Amino acid sequence: MINFNYETDFKIESEEKISKWITDMIASEHHKLEEINYVFCDDEYLHKLNVEFLNHDTLTDIISFDYCIGKMIQGDIFISVERVIDNANEYSVAFKEEINRVIIHGVLHYCGYKDKTDEEATLMREKENYYLSLL
């Protein structure tokens, strides 16, 4: 089950379509969806979480809390819509593309992909681009 929650005026255009896309991506990575809760919020909301739970006093576009057990995907993903807007502008991409990239980025982490090294980040970007192409 995928739940979309909103702490800002932003709303996903087609929750059903995005849910199916995420579910299909998880299956193609040989995992099983249990539950993902997305919370779309603003910078202030996400900054508070970043300080409280991660001890990072910075703005970020996404924070994911991973409750996965083995191949069972479950977690909470918080996304700052303000950061996504700024990132879309910075990288000269459409907001819709950037929000979808961030949505799938969190799930790829749940599937075991990391992005700390250059090599890991390259693979993560390839996976994001592949799944974006399927949407």
pLDDT confidence tier of residue 105, bands split at 50, 70 and 90? very high
**β-bridge partners, 73:** 33
**Considering only CA atoms, which of 91, 117, 87 is closest in space to residue 102?**
87
Q: For the residues 24-51, what does the mean pLDDT come to?
A: 95
Q: For the residues 25-51, what does the mean pLDDT come to?
A: 95
pLDDT confidence tier of residue 85, bands split at 50, 70 and 90? very high
pLDDT of amino acid 50 = 84
**Domain containing 118: what range?**
2-134
Q: For the residues 99-114, what does the mean pLDDT come to?
A: 95
How far is 67 from 122, CA to CA, in rounded Å? 25
The mean predicted confidence, pLDDT, of the chain is 94
- Whether the model clears a pTM of 0.85, i.e. scores above it, the answer is yes
Return the CATH number at 101.
3.40.390.30
Evaluate whether 97 touches 32 at the Cβ level (below 8 Å). Answer: no
Size of the chain, expressed as the number of residues it contains: 135
Evaluate if residue 58 carries a pLDDT over 90. no
pLDDT of amino acid 134 = 95
**β-bridge partners, 40:** 6, 79
- Tell me which H or E stretch contains 37: strand 32-41
* Residue pLDDT, tens place only, 3-29: 999 999 999 989 999 999 999 999 999
**β-bridge partners, 36:** 2, 75
pLDDT of amino acid 34 = 96
How far is 36 from 77, CA to CA, in rounded Å? 7
Evaluate whether 65 touches 107 at the Cβ level (below 8 Å). Answer: no
Q: How many domains does the chain have?
A: 1
